[in-house]
């Protein structure tokens, strides 16, 4: 039987396999932030575009934790301190060339820190359920 897939479909499948392999590696990490990044990526796996993408070969500009079709997601276990990274994700065209909305997934974030982040225009969520609701809303607005 002849394979009807196009060459770019094979490349996409290979990319997806490599992407999911990186997610699985993150889930086996000893670093709590890395594990949480993996959990978030797995929660959005049907819409996952990229995971732990380094911007510039050595990551000198930065890193995008999780990218979906409609958003960039920064992930942290910290209670505060992500404002600089969020501003960079919102403003830096190398990190966010499509100008996607930015979501901070921060289950431990405090109220003051959350206010600081939302004032930048980013969205803060604390649970996977909230994240999926926000992503569904962004998909509807498309």
Q: What is the pLDDT of residues 115-131, one digit of tens each?
A: 999 999 999 999 999 99
Q: pLDDT-based confidence at 74, cuts 50/70/90?
A: very high
Domain boundaries, the chain: 7-141
Query: What contacts 9, CB < 8 A, 6 or more positions away?
Result: none
- Quote the CA–CA distance of 93 and 25 in Å, as a whole number: 28
User: How much is the pLDDT for 10?
Assistant: 54
DSSP string, 20-60: HHHHHHHHT-S-HHHHHHHHHHHHTGGGEEEEEEEESTT-S
Range 7-141 has CATH code 3.30.70.20:
no
In percent, the amount of the chain with pLDDT more than 70 equals 92
Q: What is the pLDDT of residues 28-42, one digit of tens each?
A: 999 999 999 999 999
User: How much is the pLDDT for 11?
Assistant: 54
Q: pLDDT-based confidence at 7, cuts 50/70/90?
A: very low
User: How much is the pLDDT for 3?
Assistant: 41
Coil, helix or strand for 72?
strand
Higher pLDDT, 23 or 3: 23
Question: Dmax of the chain from CA atoms?
Answer: 61
- Quote the CA–CA distance of 51 and 36 in Å, as a whole number: 12
């Amino acid at each position: 039987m002849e394979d009807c897939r196009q060459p770019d479909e094979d490349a996409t499948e290979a990319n997806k396999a490599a992407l999911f392999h990186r997610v699985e590696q993150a889930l086996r990490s000893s670093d709590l932030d890395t594990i949480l990044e993996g959990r978030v990526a797995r929660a959005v796996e049907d819409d996952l575009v990229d995971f732990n993408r380094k911007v510039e070969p050595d990551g000198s500009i930065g890193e995008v934790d999780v990218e979906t079709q409609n958003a960039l997601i920064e992930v942290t276990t910290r209670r505060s301190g992500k404002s600089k990274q969020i501003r960079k994700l919102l403003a830096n065209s190398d990190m966010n060339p499509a100008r996607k909305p930015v979501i901070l997934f921060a289950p431990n974030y405090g109220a003051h820190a959350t206010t600081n982040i939302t004032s930048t225009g980013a969205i803060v969520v604390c649970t996977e359920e909230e994240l999926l609701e926000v992503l569904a809303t962004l998909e509807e607005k498309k």
